[in-house]
Amino acid sequence: MISECGGEEVKKTIEKVLLPEYLSSEESDQDEEGRFFRVRRLSWQGEKFRRLKDSLEERHQDQLSPAHRNQIRRRVVLYVPSKRTMPRDCPKFVYED
């Protein structure tokens, strides 16, 4: 799928920004409804890139079997951003809107 986007250069760029340093911080927690993840978004990521990641996550979950989908923990997005800093060689499309 990634290779269909426009060649090896695009593929390498996309793979690079799917590494942990470009993903939101998550902490495991538990309440009366069960276990869940607290998600802290990266303050330096642009809204367009954030929407793209959310869309990819949604598409991924839509493709899961019902049994697998039921095993996924819910996520609660916090208003407090992650303290993770932007990587030095971060592509411009990640932080610009």
- Condensed to tens digits (0 to 9), the pLDDT of residues 26-65 reads 999 999 989 999 999 999 999 998 998 888 889 988 999 9
- What are phi and psi for residue 88, nearest 5 degrees? -55, -40
Given a contact cutoff of 8 angstroms between Cβ atoms, the answer to whether 28 and 66 are in contact is no
Rounded Cα distance, 40 and 61, in Å: 20
The pTM score is 0.74
Per-residue confidence (pLDDT) for residue 2, from 0 to 100? 47
% of the chain surpassing 90 pLDDT = 43
Given a contact cutoff of 8 angstroms between Cβ atoms, the answer to whether 8 and 26 are in contact is no
Per-residue confidence (pLDDT) for residue 64, from 0 to 100? 92
DSSP letter at 88?
A: T
